Chains A and B, each alone.
Chain A
Amino acid sequence: MEFYLYLALFAPLAGSLFAALFGASKKTMIAGVLPSLLLFTSFVSSTILLVYILGGGEPIHVEMMTWMATGDLYIPFGFVVDQVSVTMMMVVTVVSTIVHVYSIGYMDHDKAFNRFFAWLSAFVFSMMVLVMSDNFAGLFIGWEGVGLCSWALIGFWYHKESATWAANEAFIMNRIADLGMLIGIFLVYWNTGTLQYNEAFAIMPSLESDVLVWMGIFLFIGAMGKSAQFPLHTWLADAMEGPTPVSALIHAATMVTAGVYLVVRANPLYDLIPNVGIFIASLGAFVALFAASMALVNRDMKRIIAYSTLSQLGYMFVAAGLGAYWVALFHLMAHAFFKALLFLGAGNVMHAMHDELDPFKMGGLKTTMKWTFIMMTVASVALAGIYPLAGFFSKDLILEVAMIEHHYIIYSVLLFTAGLTAFYSFRLVALIFHGEERYKLFGVHPHEAYKFMLIAMAPLLILAVIAGSFKMTYFEMVTAVLPATEYHIHSALTYWIMTIGTQLFVILAIAFAYKKYANSAVSVPDGTSKMENRLCYKILKNQYYIPYFFEEYLVRPYRELSTIFWKQVDLKIVDATVDGIANVIYVTGDKTRGMQSGNLSTMLKWMVIGLVAMLSLAVVFGLAVRHADDIKMILSGLGVQ
């Protein structure tokens, strides 16, 4: 089994290195095909491991090599395959294999085809390190690795100013959060003396609750950055500057869920500090609503889906915060499937519309892009949480958790958000595929994507439909390591009212969206309609003015402060010191130049002066050596050691 572990882990790395060999050369099909094949190998290995774990096998724990061993610090390159990590491995390998195959078609005309695959596979490797590591240090390496790859892939089209800006924004925001993460890891090491998960978590119950709270908070700050929780959420929407497969893989299915994974992985810690859990859940619920509301009015297809991702991450954090870790992980998995599908569908539409992102400029595409239409509709239905698709099982479960844990405010917020989710998803679908063919105004001739891209997406479609039926199998598997709390509403009546009520609410929202956007009256907004001038619309349109706030109150003062430091401190103190030293030497040289007059008489005088100086030194040192004992005595009398 260890062989499969290493195969699953290192196959993406091999693929990445292989593609990197062709990084600077022209497009080579092999640079895309081989990494995809290697990823498929990784996927097969993960499946074998999953089957093994499902069959009741013991978690596989290997220690590849010692990384650091100094004093009490011992960090190995250790990897563990248990019920939690195998779930993540499955999600990562399934989605990334599909995205790789899809990308071969999507990036077909791109000049940097080879470079794309090098980075994409590198990302998968980092993600595998992140989920498979058996200690916090390894997790952190993967964490930084995915951050790096994410940066490179968001800024993949680096000739676009906005892309490099978005890449840097994502990277810098993640660094801020990573500082918190790092502090959290230091706290763990400081207090438990180890970074291994099982050892650290075994010691934690004996620690003071204050310490645990700080640990939990700092680790969660790291999770907030990676999972783009408020207030570090702005990077995720901007990250949509990257190629669409990247958005599907990194910014929907895998990397952004790393924060959730961290909280799930650290469940013994968060179980000890329920107050922090409540905070996480509240923040999650807030973000769910907050992001969904921004998605309502946005006119950028990819950004809408990004906000939806953000909102769903909020759901996951609610579940994780309330102690329902397996539910969080389950939603993570289901969400990865349908959200990746949604993104890839959006990629197809983008390709067809020649990189047009505004859904108002599309419309009526269902005839030309039948398969994409079906896939995106199914994905949206799954996202909305309609029975019997994946979203229903996972999302309704989170609602039930909130209800059972008696957090009614969270429950109602989530319920309302579910309605919003359904509305904006179908607003998007309706605008793209229904109504009049507005794109004709812009002279675009849409076409369906390559066949093999659609076939590659098919597994996601199937998974988005059937993922919910794995619920019980999955539950039995992960509860071997996660707290096995079953969430059942006590009275059957309440349960049915809740479920049917939610379903009805969601269906109403969908119907409303169709009614409003699927008709022929929809036109390209030009900023004159009554709705667009409402205050709330403007607030939502401008993302609650948060990017504006960041720019105005954080970035600008920082820039001004930097300018002040540059002008006052750097130029006047640091540079002046260095220049001063140089000047002293220069002036000394300039003044003593006179000595080198070439006049032998003067030189003789200087020679004698030098002789006097040297002889005096000789006398002084000679006396000092001779009277060393006396001098020591005098010095010790003066208190000098």
Chain B
Amino acid sequence: MFEAIAFYLFAFLTIAMFYITVTTSQALYALTALAAGMIFISAFFFILGADFLGAIQIVVYSGAVMALYAFGMMFFDTTRDVKEKHGNKLIISGLSILTAVLVVVIFAAPLVSSNIEAFYPMTEGVGNTQDVGMVLFTKYLVPFEVAAVMLLVAMISGIVLAGKKMDLSLTLMDEATIAEEKARRDEENKKVLS
């Protein structure tokens, strides 16, 4: 009973939050609603007994990702409305729903009907976090390491992309501008060296 009430409550909240995210014209509203939605989703994880996943969800999404977006937004002139030219709502909604249903049908429906035997069954009498840790560091060690490398690469690329001078494109400049730029940079370097 409690589970049902919780599910419906959070389901309503999540949908509402995400709906706001998608429809509002204020970037700040959208960001806030998204963060709230992420936290509400973690509630489902707790209900489903995936405590660790829920914790990660809050930490990574609401903490890291949302903070990243918040900082990102500071770069942009968010007060200036991006002119939103909405297309046909019916078509867009129809297409979206159709796609979602199809994806679920294809990927989830076979799971519902068939009897799948668990590869890595949950261990009795052990907490979820311990359980996850045991599987993650044994069977999924290599993917885990690869994911770590991927995050490193993403971090470096993030720094490099957002760093200095990346807004100059040599391919889009003509010869004269490139020469000028080069001369200017040499001058700067000289200054630094002296």
How far, in angstroms, from A605 to B96 measured CA to CA in the complex?
Answer: 10
How far, in angstroms, from A392 to B187 measured CA to CA in the complex?
Answer: 120
B92 within 8 A of A: yes
A618 within 8 A of B: yes
Whether A612 touches B106, Cβ cut-off 8 Å, given contacts A605-B87, A605-B92, is no
Chain B residues contacting A611 (CB-CB under 8 Å) are 99
What's the least CB distance linking A627 to chain B, in Å? 13
B98 touches A612 (CB 8 A): yes
What's the least CB distance linking A534 to chain B, in Å? 94
B141 within 8 A of A: no
B102 within 8 A of A: yes
B105 within 8 A of A: yes
B64 within 8 A of A: no
Chain B residues contacting A616 (CB-CB under 8 Å) are 102
A536 within 8 A of B: no
B106 touches A608 (CB 8 A): no
B103 within 8 A of A: yes
B95 touches A608 (CB 8 A): yes
Q: Which of A608-641 contact B (CB under 8 A)?
A: 608-609, 611-612, 615-616, 618-619, 622
A622 partner, pick from B92, B95, B106, beta carbons under 8 A: B106
Interface string of B131-146 (1 = CB under 8 A from A): 0000000000000000
How far, in angstroms, from A619 to B99 measured CA to CA in the complex?
Answer: 12
A612 partner, pick from B87, B95, B105, beta carbons under 8 A: B95
Chain B residues contacting A605 (CB-CB under 8 Å) are 87, 92, 95
Whether A615 touches B87, Cβ cut-off 8 Å, given contacts A605-B92, A609-B95, is no
How far, in angstroms, from A82 to B158 measured CA to CA in the complex?
Answer: 98
Q: Which of B162-185 contact A (CB under 8 A)?
A: none
Chain B residues contacting A609 (CB-CB under 8 Å) are 95
B99 touches A612 (CB 8 A): yes
What's the least CB distance linking B84 to chain A, in Å? 10
Whether A619 touches B106, Cβ cut-off 8 Å, given contacts A608-B99, A611-B99, is yes
A615 partner, pick from B92, B96, B106, beta carbons under 8 A: B106
What's the least CB distance linking A6 to chain B, in Å? 76
CB-CB nearest in chain B for A602: B87
Chain A residues contacting B96 (CB-CB under 8 Å) are 608
A615 touches B103 (CB 8 A): yes
How far, in angstroms, from A608 to B95 measured CA to CA in the complex?
Answer: 7
How far, in angstroms, from A616 to B99 measured CA to CA in the complex?
Answer: 9
Interface-central residue, B87, B96, B102, B105, by most chain A CB under 10 Å = B102
What's the least CB distance linking A598 to chain B, in Å? 15
How far, in angstroms, from A611 to B103 measured CA to CA in the complex?
Answer: 10
Q: Which of B100-116 contact A (CB under 8 A)?
A: 102-103, 105-106
Chain A residues contacting B103 (CB-CB under 8 Å) are 615
How far, in angstroms, from A315 to B96 measured CA to CA in the complex?
Answer: 94
**Interchain Cβ contacts within 8 Å, total number:** 23
How far, in angstroms, from A616 to B87 measured CA to CA in the complex?
Answer: 24
Chain B residues contacting A618 (CB-CB under 8 Å) are 106
What's the least CB distance linking A445 to chain B, in Å? 84
How far, in angstroms, from A455 to B92 measured CA to CA in the complex?
Answer: 102
How far, in angstroms, from A612 to B106 measured CA to CA in the complex?
Answer: 12
How far, in angstroms, from A605 to B93 measured CA to CA in the complex?
Answer: 11
B95 touches A619 (CB 8 A): no
Interface string of A328-346 (1 = CB under 8 A from B): 0000000000000000000
What's the least CB distance linking B112 to chain A, in Å? 14
CB-CB nearest in chain A for B96: A608
How far, in angstroms, from A619 to B106 measured CA to CA in the complex?
Answer: 7
Chain B residues contacting A601 (CB-CB under 8 Å) are 87
Q: Which of A564-609 contact B (CB under 8 A)?
A: 601, 605, 608-609
Q: Which of B72-110 contact A (CB under 8 A)?
A: 87, 92, 95-96, 98-99, 102-103, 105-106
How far, in angstroms, from A333 to B96 measured CA to CA in the complex?
Answer: 95
How far, in angstroms, from A609 to B92 measured CA to CA in the complex?
Answer: 10
CB-CB nearest in chain A for B110: A622
How far, in angstroms, from A601 to B92 measured CA to CA in the complex?
Answer: 12
A615 touches B102 (CB 8 A): yes
How far, in angstroms, from A456 to B180 measured CA to CA in the complex?
Answer: 95
CB-CB nearest in chain B for A626: B110
B87 touches A619 (CB 8 A): no
A619 touches B102 (CB 8 A): yes
How far, in angstroms, from A83 to B105 measured CA to CA in the complex?
Answer: 89
Interface string of A64-79 (1 = CB under 8 A from B): 0000000000000000
How far, in angstroms, from A616 to B94 measured CA to CA in the complex?
Answer: 14
What's the least CB distance linking A613 to chain B, in Å? 10
How far, in angstroms, from A329 to B106 measured CA to CA in the complex?
Answer: 88
How far, in angstroms, from A612 to B105 measured CA to CA in the complex?
Answer: 12
CB-CB nearest in chain B for A622: B106
How far, in angstroms, from A344 to B128 measured CA to CA in the complex?
Answer: 116
CB-CB nearest in chain B for A609: B95
What's the least CB distance linking A607 to chain B, in Å? 10
Chain B residues contacting A612 (CB-CB under 8 Å) are 95, 98-99, 102
How far, in angstroms, from A618 to B103 measured CA to CA in the complex?
Answer: 10
Chain A residues contacting B87 (CB-CB under 8 Å) are 601, 605
How far, in angstroms, from A448 to B128 measured CA to CA in the complex?
Answer: 124
CB-CB nearest in chain B for A614: B102
CB-CB nearest in chain A for B101: A615
How far, in angstroms, from A84 to B103 measured CA to CA in the complex?
Answer: 87
Interface string of B118-131 (1 = CB under 8 A from A): 00000000000000
How far, in angstroms, from A587 to B105 measured CA to CA in the complex?
Answer: 37
How far, in angstroms, from A605 to B94 measured CA to CA in the complex?
Answer: 12
What's the least CB distance linking A599 to chain B, in Å? 10
How far, in angstroms, from A609 to B98 measured CA to CA in the complex?
Answer: 10
How far, in angstroms, from A618 to B109 measured CA to CA in the complex?
Answer: 13
How far, in angstroms, from A417 to B96 measured CA to CA in the complex?
Answer: 99
CB-CB nearest in chain A for B98: A612
Task: For the A-B complex with A605-B92, A616-B102, A619-B106 known, give 10 more contacts whose Cβ atoms are closer than 8 Å.
Answer: A601-B87, A608-B95, A608-B96, A608-B99, A609-B95, A612-B98, A612-B99, A615-B102, A615-B103, A615-B106
Chain B residues within CB distance 8 Å of chain A: 87, 92, 95-96, 98-99, 102-103, 105-106
Pairs A-B, 5 closest by C-beta atoms: A615-B102, A608-B95, A612-B98, A612-B99, A611-B99
23 contacts between A and B (CB under 8 A): A601-B87, A605-B87, A605-B92, A605-B95, A608-B95, A608-B96, A608-B99, A609-B95, A611-B99, A612-B95, A612-B98, A612-B99, A612-B102, A615-B99, A615-B102, A615-B103, A615-B106, A616-B102, A618-B106, A619-B102, A619-B105, A619-B106, A622-B106
